[in-house]
Chains A and B, each alone.
Chain A
Amino acid sequence: MSDTKQQVAFFFDANRCTGCRTCEVACKVENGVELGPRWRKVRTVEGDQDGGPYMYHVSMSCNHCEVPVCAEACPSGAITKRSDGIVIVDQSKCIGARLCAWACPYDAPQFSAETGKMEKCNFCSHRIDAGTGGPACAEACPTKALQWGTLDEVAAKQGATAEFGPLPDADITQPAIRFIPLKLVRS
């Protein structure tokens, strides 16, 4: 990623994710996230369509939305959006009102019982700022189901969509993530 002034974004391909949770572990290790809060979560979606069952996994964290409702709701101004689009929490300003957790449709802000503050994915901004790489979760994904880039880059991938079945309407916050939905194959 050469231009850090462009909105950064995640990319997720539901057809590639095996649910191994390597992304979750990489996030925990890289950011030293204690037991309890989960900055990234892998969830499993099950259903039935045209008489056939299906199941797939979704890896989600903060989507660093273009309209960060968490930052709008936060009364103490602890949540801000950087010029490269990364939404960060300044824990020294957080008062633990948890309004961000109510406002976020993606359950991204997590409460830390240890610090009494909110915390969430910071897109591994320390790595980006140091030029040592991107988000640890995406770089650790063994199947490349989870990737990262600028919003323009990930949106240009073939078949990428902003809306994704089980997720809230993208118009609410305009999340900086694009998806390749599961392609159901009938036997």
Chain B
Amino acid sequence: MSVQDSIKGFGVTFKQFLKSPETIDYPDQKTPVWPRFRGRHRLWLHDNGLEKCVGCSLCAAACPADCIRVVAEENTAENRVSAGERYAKIYEINMLRCIFCGYCEVACPFDAITLEAEYELSEPSRIAEIYDKDMLLAPSPKPVPIRTEPSGRQ
């Protein structure tokens, strides 16, 4: 190994000193994801506060991992939950089973369910991995930045 080679090598190293680092300071900082990233599910409300989901269970039918459980009930005048005749009394997704294929989103006739950017889905127990309707209706507790600029990597 000649001196020349060493200079060449250190040259590469010095060049990298001038660039901003590729590593991300996780968990203080999160990797931004692409807009079409499929992460944690979210159930949506209409503008008037009613749930978009009518408990039709089509998502459960489409789900290849069989991770969605929907138990429907009828809306009454006193207790109107959704815009249709029925609503989902129970809406559960087993996140351990989910393969994030997004078929539920495709199947939904009311755009009630979407797959969002959040990917931090570890929980302290298996039972806690079954997300219920209240969890799914709430805005993402661990928001993730969405990537907009093109990637430098291949």
A and B associate: no
Which B residues form the contact surface with A (CB < 8 A)? Answer: none
